[in-house]
Homo-oligomer: A and B are copies of this chain.
């Protein structure tokens, strides 16, 4: 689990940058459900995902959530170091969605390297642009895609991520991912069931007609 194997532009760094990062980075395991950023968690640093899955989401005053994107191994989470980017003026929450292993690069160390290196600054640029693109995709979904299509996409994505056609997740949790209310999810899932697309049991949604859901998307 060497940082060198997980940090995407390692080969483009100078030796002194490599040493600085290796000396400063902290390896950490995070249990499923751990809040890594947002709320009371502070600006801990860049997270380099070695294994597991992170979820980035936003939260409103009433406790409603929407998932912005997921991060997987070899991905880098920048927003857990967003205090170094003074023009980022929004709060994102990051949680471990499964048990994870991470390298944490402390914020001041990364910032110092980024300030002095065009390579690292341009790479940081690419990370922000990627996340921005994911949020724009979501924005278009929320604005212009009907909820049945969004729910169908979500179920298919989940199946893709876990490799299991049975999704173990409450309607409440699905609602949190999609930024809506539980009742809206329950109503649409019941409709999907009546159409023979899914089978509902307590706490699970089983996809029984993948092609049917794909046709909805």
Contact = CB atoms under 8 A, between A and B. Distances in A.
Interface stretch (A29-37, A123-131, A183-191): A123-131
Contact of A87 (B116, B118, B129): B129
A74 to B, nearest CB: 15
A160 interface: no
A133 interface: yes
A135 B133 contact: no
A144 B61 CA distance: 9
A64 B144 contact: yes
Nearest to A88: B129
Contact of A143 (B126, B132, B179): B179
A193 B82 CA distance: 43
A109 interface: no
Contacts of A139: 58, 135, 138-139, 142
Nearest to A87: B129
A155 B55 CA distance: 36
Contact of A121 (B60, B86, B125): B125
A196 to B, nearest CB: 29
Interface residues of A, number: 39
B90 A130 contact: no
- Of A126, A128, A130, chain B has the most CB atoms within 10 Å of the CB of A128
A120 B114 CA distance: 12
Interface in A85-118: 85-90, 114-118
A117 B118 CA distance: 5
A10 interface: no
Contacts of A115: 118, 122
A140 interface: yes
Interface of A: 58, 60, 62, 64, 66, 85-90, 114-118, 120-122, 124-133, 135-140, 142-144, 179
16 contacts: A58-B136, A60-B140, A60-B144, A66-B143, A85-B125, A85-B126, A87-B130, A88-B129, A90-B136, A90-B137, A115-B118, A116-B118, A118-B121, A121-B121, A135-B136, A139-B142
